[in-house]
Chains A and B, each alone.
Chain A
């Protein structure tokens, strides 16, 4: 069993898939976090006509099926698409674009809900302390940090477990755009179950760790309310 796990984990194809998965997930989580957090906070901060519709669209996009996002990005970046000359199709960059499209609304939607709950009281507090606008913004971000980490972990979890968009846009090219999930899908299609299961276990372990982090963050959040 141990030998088998060892041989699987040292397999060049598997190592490459893990690497591609991480490069993709870290990049897309980073970009989506910056965009999503900024957008979520700004959406909470400012009122303008059409805001309700934007919030509703955001909510809808939170549940967009990844393959649909994948298809849209595919149509945009394919050779005969509007962004074709950039040659992004079947590259990690392309996959990141698709994932940013999937994850950003999730993060911004979550941040918006959290901010709507606690930002007004933080803002009022900042005013009574005589904080400047910039200090107020910094305070809001600092006070929401746990929620922000939680959103980022959620985004990362989505990213590593996603397969539809990654398969479409990345093309599952061996050694280049083949991720852990698309490897599993390929191994299954070849009728090779052992390595697929090993990768599945690895993903599950990662999901477990992420879930654990989320739990920790949420537990601390709950403790706050015990007064």
Chain B
């Protein structure tokens, strides 16, 4: 997807992205210090924030093909299972129970399947949020710091799942982090952001 002449001002913060191309089917990392505008950029792509001006060309992707994992994922007031199948439900897709069980098993949430989602620990919440984002097979997934500050075991697990997905059916990933770490081994391309602009490094 291509972003041209994007501008957004929030208070003192000003963002300007003149020409930015996201190659489909690749894993893109965005790195930059805190407050440089990474989250705002993702939220604009996700449609949560409207830009002041600019063109966002999704190249045929509809809002149903895009998702974003927030730093603090929103969990619905219901069970882990209901949270997980929500994106399927609103698309009228019948959930494949075996696949769901397998996915839950893989991240270690099988036991908590029928538990109240908001009783999960913050690490478990991130896992659930991750599964919920990949379950409906979107074509663009944005990850806002969700995969930072993980223990090495979980990190490996996520890296494993992501690379599997990429092998099976390559999709576009936009992974934001404020520091370089493990996840970036996955990235095909790394973009640097500073003070609301992309910079070359």
Q: List residues of A whose CB falls within 8 A of some B CB.
A: 121-122, 124-125, 127-132, 135, 139, 142-143, 145-146, 223-224, 226-227
**A227 to B136 alpha-carbon distance, docked (Å):** 27
**A131 to B136 alpha-carbon distance, docked (Å):** 12
A-B contact pairs, 11 of them (CB 8 A): A122-B74, A125-B74, A127-B46, A129-B67, A130-B64, A142-B77, A143-B77, A223-B118, A224-B118, A227-B120, A227-B121
**A227 to B120 alpha-carbon distance, docked (Å):** 7
Give B42's nearest chain A residue, CB to CB.
Answer: A128
CB distance from A151 to the nearest CB of B (A): 16
B90 — which chain A residues lie within 8 A by C-beta?
129-132, 135
- Do A121 and B67 touch (CB < 8 A)? no
B66 — which chain A residues lie within 8 A by C-beta?
128, 130
Interface positions, chain B 63-90, Cβ under 8 Å from A, are 63-70, 73-74, 76-77, 86-87, 90
- Do A223 and B48 touch (CB < 8 A)? no
CB distance from A81 to the nearest CB of B (A): 46
A128 — which chain B residues lie within 8 A by C-beta?
46, 48, 66-70, 133
Of A122, A131, A132, A226, the most chain B CB neighbours within 10 A belong to A131
Q: How many residues of B contact A (CB 8 A)?
A: 32
Give B67's nearest chain A residue, CB to CB.
Answer: A128
B43 — which chain A residues lie within 8 A by C-beta?
124
B38 within 8 A of A: no
- Do A127 and B86 touch (CB < 8 A)? no
**A113 to B132 alpha-carbon distance, docked (Å):** 29
CB distance from B146 to the nearest CB of A (A): 12
**A135 to B122 alpha-carbon distance, docked (Å):** 27
B73 — which chain A residues lie within 8 A by C-beta?
125
CB distance from B37 to the nearest CB of A (A): 17
B91 — which chain A residues lie within 8 A by C-beta?
130
Give A122's nearest chain B residue, CB to CB.
Answer: B74
Interface positions, chain B 18-73, Cβ under 8 Å from A, are 43, 46-48, 62-70, 73
**A208 to B43 alpha-carbon distance, docked (Å):** 47
CB distance from B193 to the nearest CB of A (A): 21
A129 — which chain B residues lie within 8 A by C-beta?
67, 86-87, 90, 132
B125 — which chain A residues lie within 8 A by C-beta?
227
- Do B64 and A121 touch (CB < 8 A)? no
- Do B120 and A124 touch (CB < 8 A)? no
Give A225's nearest chain B residue, CB to CB.
Answer: B118
CB distance from B51 to the nearest CB of A (A): 15
**A226 to B90 alpha-carbon distance, docked (Å):** 28
**A130 to B135 alpha-carbon distance, docked (Å):** 13
A146 — which chain B residues lie within 8 A by C-beta?
77
Give B66's nearest chain A residue, CB to CB.
Answer: A130
B119 within 8 A of A: yes
B121 — which chain A residues lie within 8 A by C-beta?
227
B116 — which chain A residues lie within 8 A by C-beta?
223
**A60 to B160 alpha-carbon distance, docked (Å):** 57
- Do B63 and A127 touch (CB < 8 A)? yes
- Do A223 and B67 touch (CB < 8 A)? no
**A125 to B122 alpha-carbon distance, docked (Å):** 17
Given contact pairs A130-B67, A130-B91, a sample of 17 additional A-B residue pairs in the complex whose CB atoms are under 8 Å apart: A122-B74, A124-B74, A127-B46, A128-B46, A128-B66, A128-B68, A128-B69, A128-B133, A129-B86, A129-B90, A129-B132, A130-B63, A130-B138, A132-B90, A146-B77, A223-B116, A227-B118
